[in-house]
């Protein structure tokens, strides 16, 4: 029997679980070393197109050793993924899963690298948002920075509020479908209430 091109055998399951456990520990260590992007901030864009990166996000970029802000238009939303080496590493990992010069590699590399920009961070922690970034995300006057762990996103504030409500609604539905008790966040065991 095969799954995802890997022959099924109980020993493979043990090996994969062991690798997963080791990778989870490694990923936690990387996050601790590199910092995390959490919380939501909204800042003004000045007349020159500059915006201040929130201080906690700048600190996380420094922990990563990032000297520039890596920005990549999201594929499914009118927002921009941003971050440092952790984001770039995730993109590199994704690309390395495809054979070089394959059609899928070409599509992903064009979308994730070809449309990306590296923005210089000035001494005051500001970046100049290009017209491409501003147009993709619909940024005009203000930017909402949304932490997402290893990366953050740049949003038009009004669009983000709509997306945040949609996200919360979907998570509530998912939690309900998974059988989580709303008040205690405990799993409801079938037959017990």
Q: What CA–CA distances, in Å, run from 161 to 47, 168, 175?
A: 24, 11, 21
Short-list 163, 147, 133, 149, CA closest to 53:
147
Which contiguous run of DSSP H or E holds residue 17?
Answer: helix 10-34
Q: What is the pLDDT of residues 96-118, one digit of tens each?
A: 999 999 999 999 999 999 999 99
The pTM (predicted TM-score) of the whole model is: 0.75
At residue 17, does pLDDT exceed 50?
no
Q: What is the pLDDT of residues 129-140, one digit of tens each?
A: 999 999 999 999
**Residue ranges of E strands in the chain:** 2-3, 6-7, 40-44, 50-52, 68-73, 80-83, 117-120, 126-128, 142-147, 152-155
Q: pLDDT at position 34, please?
A: 56
Q: Report the half-sphere exposure of 13 (CA within 13 A, side-chain side).
A: 6
Q: What is the pLDDT of residues 177-193, one digit of tens each?
A: 888 766 555 544 445 44
Give the mean pLDDT of 146-165.
98
CB 55 within 8 A of CB 125: yes
Q: What is the pLDDT of residues 156-170, one digit of tens each?
A: 999 999 999 999 999
The rounded distance, in Å, linking the Cα atoms of 30 and 129 is 28
Q: What is the pLDDT of residues 27-80, one digit of tens each?
A: 333 334 457 999 999 999 999 999 999 999 999 999 999 999 999 999 999 999
Q: What is the CATH number of domain 36-178?
A: 3.40.1550.20
The rounded distance, in Å, linking the Cα atoms of 28 and 23 is 8
Structure tokens belonging to residue 2: 């095969």
Q: pLDDT at position 76, please?
A: 93
């Amino acid at each position: 029997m095969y799954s995802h091109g890997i022959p099924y055998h109980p020993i493979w399951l043990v090996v994969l679980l062991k690798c997963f456990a080791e990778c989870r520990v490694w990923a936690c260590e990387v996050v601790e070393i590199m910092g995390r992007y959490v919380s939501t901030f909204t800042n003004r864009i000045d007349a020159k197109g500059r915006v201040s990166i929130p201080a906690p996000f700048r600190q996380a970029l420094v922990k990563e050793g990032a000297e520039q802000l890596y920005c990549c238009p999201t594929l499914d939303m009118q927002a921009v993924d941003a971050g440092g080496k952790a984001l770039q590493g995730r993109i590199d990992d994704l690309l390395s899963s495809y054979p070089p010069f394959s059609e899928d590699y070409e599509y992903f590399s064009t979308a994730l690298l070809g449309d990306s920009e590296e923005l210089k961070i000035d001494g005051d922690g500001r970046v100049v948002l290009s017209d491409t970034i501003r147009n993709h995300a619909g940024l005009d006057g203000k930017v909402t920075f949304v932490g997402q762990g290893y990366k953050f996103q740049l949003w038009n504030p009004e669009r983000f509020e709509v997306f945040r409500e949609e996200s919360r609604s979907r998570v509530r539905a998912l939690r309900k479908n998974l059988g989580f008790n709303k008040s205690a966040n405990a799993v409801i065991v079938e037959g017990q209430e």
